[in-house]
């Protein structure tokens, strides 16, 4: 049996690898998806339980020693979302971004 380095296994098949995804690179985006789903309005039982238990601590602070794995995963997800979700709204009353085009200067 021959062992192969993990970075080689994660290469595309056209480059000599097996085309597998590294979980180290996908951990943050997957956890941020869970955090994003939790921040969206929902009527599921899971959302209501987690919001009731962790809502005040979800967006601020860091997980403390003894916190559950759920809050640790959600904090990590929020940390990955934080650089992406900074909006500046002039009046704060309304915003409409559907159908708008953005130009990067």
- Per-residue pLDDT of 6-47, as tens digits, reads 888 888 889 888 888 888 888 888 888 888 888 777 788 888
Per domain, the residue ranges of the chain are 27-84
d(CA 49, CA 13) in angstroms, rounded, equals: 43
Query: pLDDT (tens digit, 9 = 90+) per residue, 39-90?
Result: 777 788 888 887 787 766 766 667 778 878 888 888 888 888 877 766 666 6
Q: If residue 8 lies in a helix (H) or strand (E), which one and from where to where?
A: helix 6-9
- Name the DSSP class of 64: P
Secondary structure percentages of the chain, helix, strand, coil, to 5: 50, 0, 50
């Amino acid at each position: 049996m021959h062992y192969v380095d993990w970075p080689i296994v994660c290469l595309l098949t056209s480059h000599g690898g097996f085309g597998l995804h590294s979980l180290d690179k996908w951990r943050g985006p997957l956890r941020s998806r869970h955090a994003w789903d939790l921040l969206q309005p929902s009527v599921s039982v899971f959302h209501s339980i987690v919001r009731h238990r962790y809502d005040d601590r979800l967006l601020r602070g860091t997980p403390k020693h003894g916190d559950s794995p759920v809050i640790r995963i959600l904090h990590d997800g929020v940390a990955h979302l934080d650089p992406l979700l900074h909006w500046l709204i002039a009046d704060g009353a309304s915003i409409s971004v559907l159908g708008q085009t953005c130009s990067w200067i």
